[in-house]
Amino acid sequence: MADYKAPLRDMQFTWFELFNYEQHLQSLPKYADTSKDIVEAILEENAKFAENVLAPLNQSGDAEGCTWSESGVTTPTGFKEAYQQFVEAGWPSLSCEEAYGGQALPESLGLTLSEMVGTANWSWGMYPGLSHGAKNTIEEHGSEDQKQTFLTKLVSGEWTGTMCLTESHCGTDLGMLRTKAEPNADGSYNISGTKIFISAGEHDMADNIVHIVLARLPEAPMGTKGISLFIVPKFNVATDGSVADRNAVSCGSLEHKMGIHGNATCVMNFDGAKGFLIGEENRGLNCMFTFMNTARLGTALQGVAHAELGFQKSLDYARDRLQMRALSGPKNPEGPADPIIVHPDVRRMLLTQKAFAEGGRMMVSYCGKIVDVINGGDDAAAKEADQQLAFLTPIAKAFLTEVGFESANLGMQCFGGHGFISEWGAEQNVRDCRISMLYEGTTGIQALDLLGRKVLGSQGEAMKPFTKEVHKFCQANEGQPMATALAAANKRWGELTMDIGMKAMNNAEEVGAASVDYLMFSGYVTLGYFWALAANKAQEAIDAGKGDLEFYQAKVQTAEFYFARILPRIETLATTMTSGADNLLAMDADHFAF
């Protein structure tokens, strides 16, 4: 059994058949010469790297974990060598600007590559993944000098990056942060404070680490309006751009945690470390928000990754494992028992994973196209796209990680008792997945962002471009069962939004009381749209006798499964989200337990 097989056929379907990737790229000045051939060659090459280099290190990396010592952090055996190969192949520079050594390929393609890397080995993928945030920040807000010094090295992959936000007393509530930045005479700053949960904060895979750090200047205003953003390198950089002496930043310890053991989650101590201001003073949080959507899409991918990996593992097992007979009589009469894939409930678990993995891939790819439009060189289109992305991102992040975790658990469940045993990798997949609902803003935070900030904050305007697109599709396919169900769900979505909006005018707490159910409802409808689209495309191909019949039939069948067994979850959610805040707020905080 292979550790991981990249779902290239499905990726091709999603990009080229469903989302007209060629036309999409040709329509954007920046990506117009990225041909189908180029994309396919890149996908295939990356698949090989993910399958052959990264996947074999996934279980061993979990078992071995990272090791802390005074002199630094050692990553699991093979991680460093894999990173060297990754850099040599030029993967880090793929979607970066050419001016700084990048290949200027579309971000959408980068997301698909990240899916393969992350599914093969999520812990490993976080090392280059974290660089992404640092790159984006410097690219967007850094000075030309900072770009030449730091960005070029991040783009080449010689150095990696981190994002240092969280402190022990504040994660969500960054306004409370205490790390200090004191100005030096030479224009640099001395950074002092302790950051926690810093992924890839210290390791042995690259020559230098570029920390992007949130800190307060002396006399800065209280709260989020007094936060500035700094570059703090692990090693100071000489004027010729080479690595010089060690800066006063170090990893104090590694966190013991549930999963992603191959990634170093560091407590980082800044003891008057030399740093450089990015952007304006006290505007640090705004700088961060500009790339937050992309970072959250990266986490949405984690839901897809663990759904896909769990699906692959449990599908192999369900085809091989012989246990009991089908209720309607033996399907493998010569064998001692039937393979468990004959049992309807095992199929329910497999199809749920498949629907979320392939559906999530559609959702992230759709968002990826929007990112391309934002970066693609057409400013008017970019502005509109930016709003669309702002609306879809919290849905993609929270919904896909929630259903990704459900999928990972169902994958494990298919193994019966063997699922609990480390050997099969199914339990690691659950442990690794669990963080995705927590970091980059918990599900609860995404839900407040969606319902409070985006939807109600815009009087519902933010959702309209998407719900109109769904509405158009339903109209164009009137009478089709899926379109009918989708149209009803889409309509209900709007009504529920109105309903909660009205309630919230009397009591702001109604937003928080409805938000997570609202987000999940939004997710199921959104995914329903993509599955209906996919079923249509697949049916067209079948009708046109395009070949690959089995693939297209499976698409239609998965869509039918989704509409019959998954989309109806919105019924309950519609009820619970409108049940009001009272049933949550009535109880005195002191009376929850006696």
Site for a second copy in 211-270 (CB under 8 A): 255-259
Interacting stretch for a second copy, rule CB under 8 A, among 64-72, 270-278, 476-484, 586-594? 586-594
Regarding 457 and contact with a second copy (CB under 8 A), the answer is: no
Residues 238, 322, 502, 505: which binds a second copy (CB under 8 A)?
322
Asked if residues 513 and 580 have their Cβ atoms less than 8 Å apart, the reply is yes
Rounded Cα distance, 365 and 446, in Å: 20
Pick out residues in 332-361 that bind a second copy (CB under 8 A). 336-337, 339, 341-348, 350-351, 354
Q: Residues in contact with a second copy, total (CB under 8 A)?
A: 106
Interacting stretch for a second copy, rule CB under 8 A, among 36-44, 117-125, 231-239, 545-553? 545-553
Interacting stretch for a second copy, rule CB under 8 A, among 65-73, 237-245, 322-330, 454-462? 322-330
Rounded Cα distance, 443 and 435, in Å: 11
Q: How far is the CB of 539 from a second copy (least distance, A)?
A: 14
Catalytic residue among 406, 440, 469, 560: 440
Interacting stretch for a second copy, rule CB under 8 A, among 155-163, 410-418, 481-489, 491-499? 410-418
Q: Exposed, middle or buried, 447 (CB in 10 Å: 0-12/13-18/19+)?
A: buried
107 is catalytic: no
Pick out residues in 387-406 that bind a second copy (CB under 8 A). 405
Q: How far is the CB of 107 from a second copy (least distance, A)?
A: 26
Asked if residues 461 and 391 have their Cβ atoms less than 8 Å apart, the reply is no
Asked if residues 191 and 273 have their Cβ atoms less than 8 Å apart, the reply is yes
Nearest of 228, 222, 218, 214 to residue 175 by alpha carbon: 222
Neighbours of 178 (CB within 10 A): 13
Q: How far is the CB of 68 from a second copy (least distance, A)?
A: 15
Pick out residues in 485-544 that bind a second copy (CB under 8 A). 507-509, 511-513, 515-516
Q: CB nearer to a second copy: give 252 or 465.
A: 252
Q: CB nearer to a second copy: give 275 or 523.
A: 523
Asked if residues 523 and 304 have their Cβ atoms less than 8 Å apart, the reply is no
Regarding 18 and contact with a second copy (CB under 8 A), the answer is: no
Asked if residues 67 and 328 have their Cβ atoms less than 8 Å apart, the reply is no
Strand partners, 339: 322
Which contiguous run of DSSP H or E holds residue 160? strand 159-164
Rounded Cα distance, 28 and 22, in Å: 10
Residues 4, 197, 391, 521: which binds a second copy (CB under 8 A)?
197
Asked if residues 214 and 229 have their Cβ atoms less than 8 Å apart, the reply is yes
Neighbours of 89 (CB within 10 A): 14
Q: What's the one-letter identity of residue 503?
A: K
Pairing of strands 208-215, 189-199: unpaired
Residues 36, 48, 319, 472: which binds a second copy (CB under 8 A)?
319
Residues 103, 156, 166, 190: which binds a second copy (CB under 8 A)?
166
Regarding 116 and contact with a second copy (CB under 8 A), the answer is: no
Interacting stretch for a second copy, rule CB under 8 A, among 128-136, 273-281, 380-388, 548-556? 548-556
Active site residues: 440
